Structure 1
Amino acid sequence: MHKKALPVSVPAAYAVMRLCLCTFLLACFACTAEAGLLRYDISSVPDGDTIVLAGGTVVRLRGIDAPEVGRNGHASGFYAHRAHQQLVGLLKKRQVLIDMEKSSRDRYGRVLADVYLPDRRLLSEVLVASGAAWLYQHADTPVGLRDTLLAAQRRAITAKTGMWRYVAGLDTPQGGYRGNRRSMRFFTQKCEAYYKISYRNVVHFDTLTESFMAGMAPARSCDVWPLQ
């Protein structure tokens, strides 16, 4: 004699359906996130935050900056060559993953993009976490990316990883540093902008470390970052 199957309650059936639907949507989201990533070969690595793809496309890693490598008679920034070698070392396989549909271009015509290593790690986060680059945010920097990079930067500073091992020992210029809460850049007295920040946006820092812990970056308009 066969036993009758117990009826499934409506709430229980509804819960099962919701679980299945959520699982399906998460799987679709993961597939969509991966779908846009395409593999690109690398031609060269000119500095610590830029790569050149095969074919000549110049890609700047979005959300970060690294000490400048000197060219045309200009001195290199402090730690620039080590930061450059750090990026070169990470790209030994000469391939990266990029979603070009989510990229943009800067005023120099370079592609700004989130670049991933073949193992799906975000390259900019790896560089910041290793103390080879810093957060360099703009108004259109995605909040999630900004928060991820700032958290990695603060951990690297606290652990004195990479360049942060040496930054604490650098001399502080007269007048310290002034940051602009609006642009998220900081300046020294030799910068004209040092004196033009609105009192509502100005913030003072005694050291480089304090400036970076606040998520600010050295202005490119004048040599705020120390030279080699």
Structure 2
Amino acid sequence: MKRNFLALIIIFLTLPLIVFFNVKSSFLSKPNPDVYLYLPSGNYLRTLSMGNPSFLGDLIMARALTYFGSHYYQRGYKYEWLYHLFDVLTDIDPYNKESYLIGARLLTLVDVNLSNKLLEKGMSYHPDYWKIPELIGFNYFYHLKEPAKAAKYYEIASNLPGHPPYVPSLAGKFYSEIGMLEEAIKVLRNFYETTEDKRLKEDFGEQIEELEQKIRERREKIPARVTKVFDGDTFNLIINGREEKVRLVGVDAPEIDEEREKVRLMGLLARDFAQFHLENKDVYILIDKQGRDRYGRLLIYLWLPSMVFFNELIIEEGFANVYTRFYHPYQKRFIEAERVARERNKGLWGFGKEIPYPPQDAIYLLGKLCAIRFKVQKVYFGRSVVYLQSSLDWQRNFNAVIFLNDTGRFRKGIKEYEGKEIIVRGFMKKYKEHPEIIVHSPLQIEENE
């Protein structure tokens, strides 16, 4: 009985060593991603490390980085194992801050949401480390284009010790962009009242004064909500509980009911721009002294919650002309905005001259008129739209989208684009998790010979 018990103890003690050295030897051989997929749990490996989790973690990290670097320039290479690897690494040694930061930066090449998931895990172990929420905020701002969430995490980072001045400054900037001016002031004032640097105090004080001025200006305007965008200069608004059809003063966007195909397309792209900024969003307006036009539409000046003047913005970005038939106080500003837009080939003035980008860069072009070059992996016919897919993983990658009622405009069968490299031009939007361009006309597609 004693011999059996002793044998069990010996097996129990030596088995972890055998497994550990087998794992170790596999890392000393040629890197293989399958090793990472089948790594056991971090808690189990921490036990195998015999009180030295940092050594085992560093060993796995070194081999992973070697493998990652050797395949980085392989076009289309995927790293499905990457999140599992860093999840295990941070279980082995959850208090190693660098594992979260390195893993999160690499994971942005696979799935930014997984990068943020790893960082959220890091926040639970390092609640006072400002770099982790700051990196989550960066991911939301730069990769996911969600300024509201970016502002939230930059604000969290700004309340932690050791953060640099740019952190509260960016939190204030993102809150301001989405119209949360009071929140922006709160973050900036918190830093203003705690810093002893005179130059920074002056800079933050100026930012606070500018935001307070915007709040005063906003209080002088009428709050409203955009319910429908008809074209680049005509919308429906809810004003004081009543729905009104309105038209922007001093703005002349192309018509969408034109028979000429190019003019019609320009009108639809201008509508895309207006929808991106306005549809189902809160705005602020002033009513022009003329009241209404001959069609009964209310004539208005419109501001976004951030106090960006939309009448000027749509001209400045090249999606509309100045309407000069009637004088208004902003006429000179609008004329100058159009001159600059023409000169710089912005928006519709530069249609057809855009530099094509690869589909993986599409997310960084949101809100822009741009061009994407890609090979159509699949043409998929849905209930109401056709997808020209840049990847078979269509839910997370760029698609060009054609509504079925526009397919008749294409002389060439749309299915024939499958397998071909094309350039698609249009206004970049985001649908759920992926960027897309709505293709209204065959003029937006160019086959790349």
Instruction: Report the secondary structure of 1:163's partner residue.
Output: helix
Which amino acid counterpart does residue 97 of structure 1 have in structure 2? Y
Which amino acid counterpart does residue 158 of structure 1 have in structure 2? E
**Hey, what does 2:295 align to over in structure 1?**
108
Structure 2 distance, partners of 1:92, 1:31, is 23
Structure 1 distance, partners of 2:237, 2:214, is 26
Structure 1 distance, partners of 2:337, 2:288, is 26
Structure 1 distance, partners of 2:346, 2:224, is 30
Question: 1:62-77 residue pairs with structure 2 within 5 A?
Answer: 62-70=249-257, 77=264
**Hey, what does 1:139 align to over in structure 2?**
326
* Residues 65-97 of structure 1: per-residue CA shift (max 9 Å, x gap): 1011118x8966341111100000011561110
**Hey, what does 1:10 align to over in structure 2?**
none
% same residue: 28
Structure 2 distance, partners of 1:101, 1:151, is 21
Question: 1:174-185 residue pairs with structure 2 within 5 A?
Answer: none
Question: 1:35-74 residue pairs with structure 2 within 5 A?
Answer: 35-54=219-238, 55-70=242-257
Contact 1:115 1:123 in 2 (8 A): yes
Structure 2 distance, partners of 1:74, 1:159, is 25
Q: How many residues align?
A: 138
Structure 1 distance, partners of 2:224, 2:326, is 28
Question: 1:140-219 residue pairs with structure 2 within 5 A?
Answer: 140-142=327-329, 145-166=330-351
Instruction: Report the secondary structure of 1:100's partner residue.
Output: strand
Contact 1:102 1:113 in 2 (8 A): no
Instruction: Give the Å deviation of 1:138.
Output: 2.4
CA-based RMSD of the aligned residues comes to 2.9
The gaps in structure 1 that reach 5 residues or longer are: 1-28, 169-227
**Hey, what does 1:203 align to over in structure 2?**
none
**Hey, what does 1:88 align to over in structure 2?**
275
* Residues 21-65 of structure 1: per-residue CA shift (max 9 Å, x gap): xxxxxxxx9888544302101111111111101233011000011
Per residue, is there more helix in 1 or in 2?
2
Contact 1:64 1:134 in 2 (8 A): yes
Instruction: Find the structure with the greater CA-based Rg.
Output: 2
Instruction: Give the Å deviation of 1:163.
Output: 0.8
Contact 2:266 2:348 in 1 (8 A): yes
